[in-house]
Amino acid sequence: MFFRGPDDLDLINVTRNLRTLTKDELEQYATLLQAKHLWLKSRSVEYIFVIAPNKHSIYPEHLPDHMYKIGDRSLTDELVEYVSEHTDVTILDLRAPLLAAKSDDQLLYFPTDTHWNFFGANIAQHEIARAIASYFPDQIQPKLYASSEFTTTVGSGGDLAAFIDLRNEFIENYPSPKLARCPEVMRGKQAQLARFFTTVCDSSGLNIVVFRDSFFKWVQPYISQYANRATFIWKRMHLEEMKKMVAQEKPAIVIEEWAERGLIRVPPSAPELHQQERLSENNLTD
């Protein structure tokens, strides 16, 4: 099953490479991400922007026949290339490692859900950990878990099956890694789609802050293993949240993760952040 999404996501045309970003939209993305990077850098905090691929990008062979590609380059291709060429932002495109890890006997995404499963998240977390290790090689030891380190349970269908009210008509395999779960400390008011919590583990001395969406649910247990404290906020990262989290958590690194399907929703410009960027550039120069 694949997610069609609301009309503004235009997932059919995005998947067929018929819907891409304009030059102005690409520039707006680059300007905003660079501003975040510079603001954090001026405070000795590293920044990684992570793209969690659509299932459409990893299993295109299972799409309906009418969803064949027209253009050679996708919206994500163009965004990653533009940001890489015009900014200093570390942008992590997880499509290639997930495609390389595909096999007939180990699915990386749930057949009846929009998301990757713990096998797919295992590949994702390893790439994220490698990116973190590039900044902190003495504090992070990336680990890719072997198939033998997972257990699998059977349950009803995922969110796509639920959307059509047929969840109980499907059977889904749910793999799970054999790792110690770090204690979670809930922060503030909790809601299903706005969980705000910190995990505390006895590992490295790193503090990590993650602004995330639903895909990071499966990545979080892995990433927590690499940090002394890891704080997870289910929302987009704006200046006020950045200020608050940097002041409270004193992170070594901030990770911002977006689902690929959300990239079409170009973030608005942020004049207040761009002003901060100019101040940050001056501080770095001085």
The dihedrals phi and psi of 230, each to the nearest 5 degrees, come to: -130, 125
Sign, CA dihedral 249-254-260-264, equals positive
- Answer whether 4's CB lies under 8 Å from 63's CB: no
pLDDT of residue 53: 98
Calpha distance 73→94 (Å, rounded): 16
Q: Which residue has the higher pLDDT, 184 or 224?
A: 224
pTM of the predicted protein model:
0.92
pLDDT of residue 286: 46
pLDDT digits (tens, 9 = 90+) for 8-44: 999 999 999 999 999 999 999 999 999 999 999 999 9
Residue among 96, 91, 79 nearest 49 (CA): 91
Distance of CA 59 to the CA centre of its chain: 18
Calpha distance 32→227 (Å, rounded): 27
Q: Which residue's entry shows tokens 């939209």?
A: 25
Longest dimension (CA), the chain: 63
**Lookup: tokens for 245:** 């989290």
Domain boundaries, given as residue ranges, for the chain: 7-285
Asked if residue 94 has pLDDT above 90, the reply is yes
Do the bridges between strand 171-177 and strand 196-200 make them parallel or antiparallel, or are there none, so unpaired?
unpaired
Provide the mean pLDDT of the chain: 91
- Answer whether 161's CB lies under 8 Å from 116's CB: no
pLDDT of residue 6: 94
Confidence bin at 153 (pLDDT 50/70/90): very high
